[in-house]
Amino acid sequence: MNVTIVLPSLNPDEKMIRTVEGILAEGFTDIVVVDDGSAAEYKKPFETVASMDGVTVLTHEVNKGKGRAMKTAFAYVMENRPESRGVVTVDGDGQHLPKDIRACAEAMIAEGDKIVLGVRDFSKPDVPFKSRNGNNITKAVFRIFCGIRISDTQTGLRAIPAQHLPLMCEIAGERYEYETNQLLIFKDKHIALHEVVIDTVYIDDNASSHFHPFRDSWRIYKVIFKHIGTTVFAKFLGASLLCFVVDSLLFFLLNVGLEGAGMRAADSRLRIALATVGARVVSSVLNFCLNRKVVFRSDGSVAGTMVRYYILAILQMTASFLLVDYVAERVFHLTAGLLESVVKFCVDMCLFAISFFVQKKWVFAKKKQ
């Protein structure tokens, strides 16, 4: 198929040798292995695979991270394999089966310029809880806040056509966050993805992985949060905060103005109600205009989007009331006070995130071309 296999490795054991042997047996004739600064006692596996026909071993004198190892291999392929149709990145710990590697390579060739992801089925009972839970959370974050629908956010089995390799070398990230950055760049550059379901293999509960749960998870989520800060969600949050300030300021001015016009203590409920409604009408119209023109840049009719916007607003207000009432009084048996306010804050934050997704997909959805 004229496809190059890229295999970054750190302190490997015999599983890396078996992985390379399996890839060669599957019919591949070009494998680039990167020794990412492995310790002296782990050099034997690299010497073993280097003696095999079709295997090239590149070496980092010190550990630079998986992302840098992949970019080293990509640069080597561009310079020395001009005829290669693309690369397939593979983990060397035996989690990627040769047949699945071949399936991803064949899909890449069939799909043209699409990047192919080998995705695992996390619903199977043999998947470790931490892997299933971590993927589900990250998958939800990608979908809601980044607009990326993907089944496996952490797969290392990726087939990348040759025309995308220059871009792959420019993507930021030296360690595990590099693969997350890849997904975000694919979205920004409008590079289509194609998924191939692969077998899920966990050896000793993935004990040989060099992934550090806290350190590397922080690096990954820091990349995601930084990306969110420059996306539609950041604009949505900014517009909401601005309208909150406007609403609060208008309420204060209307309340003071009505009191000065003669509405004293006896009319306090009516005064507060009028100030609340007046402020909310103005702030909601402002929020609608900002979301329509600045945040989501909707091309739908003003009347249609406004109807949907206020339907959502009414449903959101009703849901907030019902959920706060249920959680505070039925679940925690609260009546009033600070704890009830905490419950309302948590409920409203969840509804706020849901509101963003609904506004993006329904209220201000762009017309299909």
Decide if pLDDT at 274 tops 50: yes
* Cα–Cα distance measured from residue 114 to residue 262, given in angstroms and rounded to the nearest whole number: 69
- Mean pLDDT for 82-104 is 93
* Cα–Cα distance measured from residue 147 to residue 224, given in angstroms and rounded to the nearest whole number: 12
pLDDT of residue 46: 95
**4-228, CATH topology level:** Spore Coat Polysaccharide Biosynthesis Protein SpsA; Chain A (3.90.550)
Cβ 205 vs Cβ 95: under 8 Å: no
pLDDT of residue 253: 87
Q: Is 50 exposed, middle or buried (0-12, 13-18, 19+ CB in 10 A)?
A: middle
Instruction: Give 214 or 266, the one with higher predicted confidence.
Output: 214
In this prediction, what percent of the chain has a pLDDT beyond 70?
A: 85
| Residue 56, beta-bridge partner list | 32
DSSP string, 318-368: HHHHHHHHIIIIIIS---SSHHHHHHHHHHHHHHHHHHHHHIIIIITPPPP
Q: Where are the domain boundaries for CATH 3.90.550.10 in the chain? A: 4-228
237 — pLDDT class (breaks 50, 70, 90): confident
pLDDT in tens, 208-220: 454 555 665 666 6
- Mean pLDDT for 181-186 is 90
| Residue 88, beta-bridge partner list | 5, 159
Determine what percent of the chain falls in helix, strand and coil, rounding each to the nearest 5: 60, 10, 30
Decide if pLDDT at 49 tops 60: yes
Provide φ and ψ at 5, rounded to 5°: -90, 130
| Residue 174, beta-bridge partner list | none
Q: Which of 139-153, 170-184, 296-310 has the lowest mean pLDDT?
A: 139-153
pLDDT of residue 367: 72
Q: What is the largest CA-CA distance in the chain?
A: 94
Decide if pLDDT at 19 tops 90: yes
Decide if pLDDT at 263 tops 80: no
Identify residue 41 by its one-letter amino acid code. E
Tell me how far CA of residue 308 lies from CA of 14, 104, 305, in angstroms: 60, 42, 5
pLDDT of residue 79: 96
